[in-house]
Chain A
Amino acid sequence: MLNEERVILMTKMASYEATDGKKHIKAGNFFRGDYLSIEVMKSLVYGTLAFALGFGLYVLYDFEVFMQDIYKMDLFVFIQNILIYYAVFIVIYGVVSYFIYSYRYKQARIHLKRYYQNLKKLSMLYQKK
């Protein structure tokens, strides 16, 4: 016979699994440190790509001046400056990513805890039957 409480619980859990649950379960498979390392590494790759795009736009913007000065400028100093800008940008982007993903990991753990409690409750309901 249908158990209404069990059906309601299973519906809620299935709905969670189909939406945020996927992401949360994926995050929950990692230890916090591993999850944050992976996500921050991904952010560093994306950040590098974004910096390259920004630098490309900067060169395009001042292309004529850049081409005129390229033989006169001290290339070592120029590259050094670019690397400093890159380091500052990537550190800020990495720190922001770290905070965002640590918040998301915390939220995922909270939701997963509730999900596992529901699983336990469901298992007890089956045993009671």
Chain B
Amino acid sequence: MTKLLELRENLKLILNRYEAFIIPIGKFLLAFSVLSVVNGQMGYMSRLDNAALVLIVALTCSFLPLGAQIFFGAIFSLAHMYTLSIEVALVGLCMYLLIFVLFFRFGPKDALVVLMTPLLFFMKIPYVMPIAMGLLGGPASAISVGCGVVVYYLNYSVVNNAATISTMGGDEAVAKIRLIIDSAVANKEMLIVAAAFVVTTLAVYFLRRLAMEYSWTIAIVSGAMLNLVILMLGDLIYDVNISVVGAILGGIVAIAVGKVIEFFRFCVDYRRTEKVQFEDDEYFYYVTAVPKMAVAAPAKTVKRINSATAPTRSVTTERTVAGQGRPRTGSSRSVTVNSQMVSSRRTADSDRADDYEEIF
């Protein structure tokens, strides 16, 4: 465990140090994967199905907010739909606008979820998303997870019906629209999966916030099981052929990913739980404090065997008077700071507040 905790601290240090590079690289990889998947699955417009173009757009996305990735993903998907049939593109546009207008208003920060959900469906591990968002997000994340499911099924139904649509003539515009709406919007499988994901996200969120021991683990396992139960019930009632084995395996992967998230986000030691009572003028307080598991990241020390003195650095401070700018040369003073002085001055009080997890 100590090794894992050290690894976590090292990862945090690396992330903090190279944040300026890691975030754009992450955004680039995400945009590249999303656009490649859209091109790979649909790919009806040959001009868009071009690695160089995907690379350029992904590079652009790496310096833009996450919303831009959704925008480009939707543009790519609509362009492919347009090449297949203008009626399909019209339905797709209406659906995207509905999602944007109705739901994105409440959770614009969860753009990542709408992108990741279809991507996880493509990777055959969609059940990770409701568990992860229940642990990391708020109740509004359930809406974004639901939107992600709708986006996936819309694109999936277009791909599924592409052969039929391409054989239909131009005079069958209404039939094409009806086909897409029937297979995307009135799709019972989509409704069951969306309902299961929304309920699971909310259940995981509320369970993990309960003031009880191992709440996160309980939330993860219960969430995975609840998801499975809703999917199976939906399958039994509406006979939509949801893969039972896939759902069970997906649930196990979701639990594993949930435990990894828990390790990084809520790693506490319940054996050292402290229960304290105190009072002030107005209240009695019954507080349960659970300490976080933490170890200091191992620091590499270089011992100089040919130098007896401690390393020193010089700091030059200049005193300025407001409105007069820099003083003339000669009025500055020089201070020599010993590195040991700096490192030993950290106060314990400021650190102590971060040693406990707030559970109420």
Whether A49 touches B101, Cβ cut-off 8 Å, given contacts A5-B350, A8-B350, A57-B91, is yes
Whether A56 touches B345, Cβ cut-off 8 Å, given contacts A5-B350, A8-B350, A49-B101, is no
B168 within 8 A of A: no
Alpha-carbon gap, A93 to B181, bound state (A): 23
Number of B interface residues in the complex (CB < 8 A): 19
A46 pairs with B101, CB closer than 8 A: yes
Number of A-B residue pairs, CB cutoff 8 Å, is 44
Closest B residue to A58 by CB, please name it: B181
A53 pairs with B101, CB closer than 8 A: yes
B102-139 vs A: 1/0 string, CB under 8 Å? 10011000000000000000000000000000000000
B81-98 vs A: 1/0 string, CB under 8 Å? 000000000110010011
Whether A43 touches B181, Cβ cut-off 8 Å, given contacts A54-B98, A63-B174, A64-B174, is no
A57 pairs with B94, CB closer than 8 A: yes
- For chain A, the bracket of interface size reads 20 to 34
A residues less than 8 Å from B346 (CB atoms): 4
B residues less than 8 Å from A60 (CB atoms): 90-91, 174, 177
**B57, chain A: closest CB distance, angstroms:** 27
A95 within 8 A of B: no
A50 pairs with B98, CB closer than 8 A: yes
A52-74 vs B: 1/0 string, CB under 8 Å? 01101100110110000000000
Give the A-binding residues of B (Cβ under 8 A). Answer: 90-91, 94, 97-98, 101-102, 105-106, 140, 174, 177-178, 181, 185, 345-347, 350
Q: What are some 25 contacts across the A-B interface (CB < 8 A)? A: A4-B347, A4-B350, A5-B350, A8-B350, A42-B105, A43-B105, A46-B101, A46-B102, A47-B101, A47-B102, A49-B101, A50-B98, A50-B102, A53-B98, A53-B101, A54-B98, A56-B94, A57-B185, A60-B90, A61-B178, A61-B181, A63-B174, A64-B174, A100-B106, A100-B140
